[in-house]
Structure 1
Amino acid sequence: MDNSDLILVVDDTPANLAVLSEALNDAGFEVAIATDGELAISQAELSLPSLILLDIMMPGIDGFETCRRLKASEITQNIPIIFMTALSDSTDKIKGLNLGAVDYVTKPFEEAELIARVKTQLKLYHLTENLENQVAERTRKLEETLHQLQQSQVQLIQSEKMAALGQLVAGVAHEINNPVNFIHANLKYIEEYTQIFLDFLELYQKNYPNPVDEIQEQAEDIDLEFLQSDVTKMLASMKIGTERIKEIVFSLRNFSRMDEAEFKDVDIHEGIESTLLILQHRLKAQPQRPEIKIIREYGRLPSVECYSGQLNQVFMNILANAIEALEEANAKLTYQEIEDNLNQILIHTSVINEELVQIIIADNGCGIPEHIRQRVFDPFFTTKPVGKGTGMGLSISYQIVVEKHKGQLKCCSEVGGGTKFVIQIPIYQTKE
């Protein structure tokens, strides 16, 4: 909270304005005043206060209409508004909250309570403002990075493409990690502050078990017991959300190990799972189709000596092609027909012998005609419209498996019978 925060007080009663201004000034705030709704709107657009204390019952336009117009303006819509009212009708309170107010102060009010509520809302306002700025800046940088990559990809040779992709994914993971860590760290303090408020409220309730009717009615109106339990649940869910993003960042880093210049022992299943996590948004149910089901038939594989980042790119290319094949087949079917023959991708891993492991990725899409199947590994060959693909994905995959790892990559398919890619990788790489 910044002590130079400007608070706009809107009230048509001079005595109230005087008391509020004095209390806020004593707390270190700057104060602006307005005596009606029209003046309040003009003053808010001109001075952009950090918070508005708004009376409901005023001549001309009342507090509700003033709030509605403030929230409808792009200039003032994000300024937090605390209503001041003598009303105890829950309908009026709900109406105000629905219009965008963040809190209520009931007249006559305690000065300490008013200042506490103002400080709490200002803390939340500044925290939200800072988070939004951080996320917007990170998003802008990510968009710029992605745009630059898209412009350069077509011009790079195959090896440069692989390196650029690894750097991009690692960069994206790094950029996402910064704001997520910022949010996650601040949630800890928000959780502590919230618990302090709840403990204080519980202490108050313990020592004053029989509050005056007005407080009791207010507690019932706002469903205080529900709010006390729900706020901790909300914070817990937010923490889970940030932890989930951190897991995705970890998978991005694991996926993007393109810069490793040496063969390393790698868990193949871990690479497949990190790739599936990145593609998860494309596997989920869509308005035009149910989810694409992943069937895992994992064998007991030993660690495999390989370039893990490049092998992950092979999994990415083949799985992405499988998803596109299923979507292409779905375009010709109704939703019910798709449900009757659910989209699925089978991933089967096994040990062939003491030297080789095998990974099969198969979809139940519409299959590939023979004259196209014979060319799927040719550089720049694609059946997609102009601008929708470079035709390099499977060619690069073939290079990685066959040339870099001395393995095999085969495509088996027939029209109406789905498509299967078979990858065979040596467990150990022989040094030349």
Structure 2
Amino acid sequence: MDKKYTILIIDDKVENLQYLNNILKDENYLIKATTDAQFAIKSAKLSAPDLILLDIKIPHLNGFEVCRIFKDDEKLKDIPIIFISALDDVQSKVKAFEEGGVDYITKPFEKEEVKARIKTQLNLFESKQTNINLLKQQDFFLKKIIHEMNTPLSIISLNIDNLETQIGPKEQFEAIKASSKSLSFIYNDLYYLIKKEKKIEEKKEIELIKFLSSRVMFFDEMANIKNIDINLDIHAEFNIFIDENSLQRVIDNTISNAIKYAEINSQIDIILDINKDEHFIIIKNSGSYIQDTDSIFKAYYQDKSKNIGLGLGLNIVKDICDNNNIEISVKSENNTTSFSYKIDIKDVIKGNL
């Protein structure tokens, strides 16, 4: 390890502090040792250590209480804490892990064991921090992409509409509109990913027939490129109570996926149905057979034979459905694939069809 790590040791016995210091001094660590838990907490807040060795039986505040204080502090909560104690009972060990400890070393200390366990936890901590930094960079990158995509997409859409008004419908305009909408799905998926933790859902009653009809119209240009008809098949009428933006991500990503994999000159069916008081939205297409219907919902999954898209759309669908108690089932056989969404009965508002 090239970096010089700081280790904070808290133990009420000076001889233990001296022994641990002697064990670790040859490992190029910066050692801070104290018998005073309150002082240790204040010191850590001023300059956070990389790892803490914490005794359980210390005066005034026991080790579990000290650990809790660290874990409740936003700036210190990720510091790995290894409990060191003469207590060797199962209850103490379980409580140590429940309070947030990452390891437990019993006294008397074995020199090589202490060194190995500290090195392991520091490596894990370093890896975790690296992952956190990568996620921060990814978040910044996604936000940058979204910012850069929004304006060009708006300009393309506006200018194509203006040209179509002046010149009239053209096959090329349909292709440009379809491509623009494909990019807009990428934009919307990325936007959802970076906003989902902060977004407050606003649930309301959605008129499904009206809503689904609007999505069919939206996808018209994309479907026309492959000469696909999108058919809205109403077997039963019902409305649902859900956040509209979330529902749109589910429906749009499923229809978009159906268009990508559907055969040319085929049909996509969007079905509203009730079966034994269970309410379904079903989207069905003729096209490629899906061998692994579970993996398709994993983030960044792509069909190796197609290599289409970012592999985010269906993962977002799964996330939204899980959060809204919507049960997904996928069937792919005889060249037909259907995505079935069973709506939680609590969110169903029945119609009169």
Residue 21 of structure 1 corresponds to 21
Pairs within 5 Å for 1:41-56: 41-56=41-56
2:309 to 251, 255, 259: 255
Q: Structure 1 residues 23 and 276, CA, compared in 2 at 3 Å: closer, same or farther?
A: closer
The match for 1:141 is 141
The 3 A distance-change label for structure 1 pair 72 and 286 is: closer
Amino acid at match of 2:72: A
Is contact 1:12-1:36 (8 Å) kept? yes
Structure 1 residues 44 and 161: alpha-carbon distance in aligned structure 2, compared to 1, 3 A threshold: farther
TM-score in terms of structure 2 length: 0.54
Which residue of structure 2 lines up, in the alignment, with residue 281 of structure 1? 318
Q: TM-score normalized by structure 1? A: 0.45
Aligned residue identity for 1:255: G
The structural deviation recorded for 1:249 is 8.9
Cα distance in structure 1, aligned partners of 2:90 and 2:318: 42
Paired residue for 1:304? none
Query: Residues 50-107 of structure 1: CA distance to partner in whole angstroms, max 9, x if unpaired?
Result: 1001111111111111111011101211100001100012111111111101001111
The corresponding residue for 1:77 is 77
1:249-398 equivalent positions in 2, closer than 5 A: 253-255=307-309, 277=314, 280-281=317-318, 284=321, 287=324, 289-291=326-328, 293-294=329-330, 296=332, 298-299=334-335, 334-335=345-346
Give the CA deviation at 1:144: 2.9
User: Which region of structure 1 is more displaced relative to structure 2, 134-143 or 105-114?
Assistant: 134-143
What CA distance in whole angstroms lies between the structure 1 residues aligned with 2:348 and 2:184?
Answer: 42
Query: How far did 1:49 drift?
Result: 0.7
Measured after TM superposition, the shift of residue 290 of structure 1 is 3.5
Return the letter of the residue paired with 2:179: M
The alignment status of 1:162 with 2:199, answered yes or no, reads no
2:315, 2:86 → 1: CA distance?
54
* Residue-by-residue CA offset, 1:183-229 (whole Å, 9 max, x unaligned): xxxxxxxxxxxxxxxxxxxxxxxxxxxxxxxxxxxxxxxxxxxxxxx
Secondary structure of 1:74's aligned partner? coil
For 1:34 and 1:250, the matched residues in 2 are separated by 58
Is the Cα contact below 8 Å between 1:10 and 1:36 reproduced in 2? Answer: yes
Q: CA RMSD in A?
A: 4.2
1:239-278 CA distances to partner (integer Å, 9 max, x unpaired)?
x99x95453496995137xxxxxxxxxxxxxxxxx79846
Shift of 1:118: 0.2
| Counterpart AA for 2:9 | V
In 2, the alpha carbon distance for the partners of 1:148 and 1:9 equals 49
Distance in structure 1 (CA, Å) of the matches to 2:43 and 2:301: 46
Partner SS for 1:254: coil
Query: What is the identity, as a one-letter code, of the residue corresponding to 2:115?
Result: I
What is the identity, as a one-letter code, of the residue corresponding to 1:254? I
Alignment check: 8 A CA contact 1:169 1:253 kept: no
Q: Give the equivalent residue in structure 2 for 1:118.
A: 118
Shift of residue 47, structure 1, vs aligned partner = 1.8
Residue by residue over 1:136-159, the C-alpha shift from the partner in whole angstroms, topping out at 9 and shown as x without a partner, is: 211221133224434543332352
Structure 2, unaligned stretches of length 5 or more?
161-175, 194-293
Distance 1:58 1:282 in 2: 45
1:337 to partner: Cα distance: 6.5
Kept in 2: contact 1:56–1:85 (CA 8 A): yes
Aligned partners of 2:138 and 2:25: how far apart in 1? 37
Equivalents in 2 of 1:3, 1:255: separation in Å? Answer: 40
Aligned equivalent of 1:406: none
Shift of 1:18: 1.2
Q: Which amino acid aligns with 1:121?
A: Q
Aligned partner of 1:281: which letter?
Answer: K
Q: Partner letter of residue 140 of structure 2?
A: R
Match of 1:134, as an amino acid? L
The answer on whether the counterparts of 2:298 and 2:314 sit within 8 Å (CA) in structure 1 is no
| Same amino acid, percent of matched pairs | 29
Displacement after TM superposition at 1:162 (Å): 2.1
**3-state SS of paired residue (2:308):** helix
2:243 counterpart residue number: none
Matched, 1:8 2:45: no
Contact preservation (8 Å) 1:153, 1:161: no
Give the secondary-structure state (helix, strand or coil) at the position aligned to 1:79: coil
Tell me the equivalent position of 2:35: 35
Q: Distance in 2 between matches of 1:279 and 1:41?
A: 42
Whether the aligned pair in 2 keeps the contact of 1:289 and 1:335 (CA below 8 Å) is no
Cα distance in 2 between the residues matched to 1:141 and 1:251: 28
Does the CA-based 8 Å contact 1:288-1:335 persist in structure 2?
no
The 2-side partners of 1:73 and 1:275 are apart by 34
Q: Does the aligned pair in 1 maintain the 2:300–2:312 contact within 8 Å?
A: no
Distance 1:279 1:62 in 2: 45
SS of match in other structure, 1:255: coil
Counterpart-to-counterpart distance in 1, 2:345 and 2:52: 54
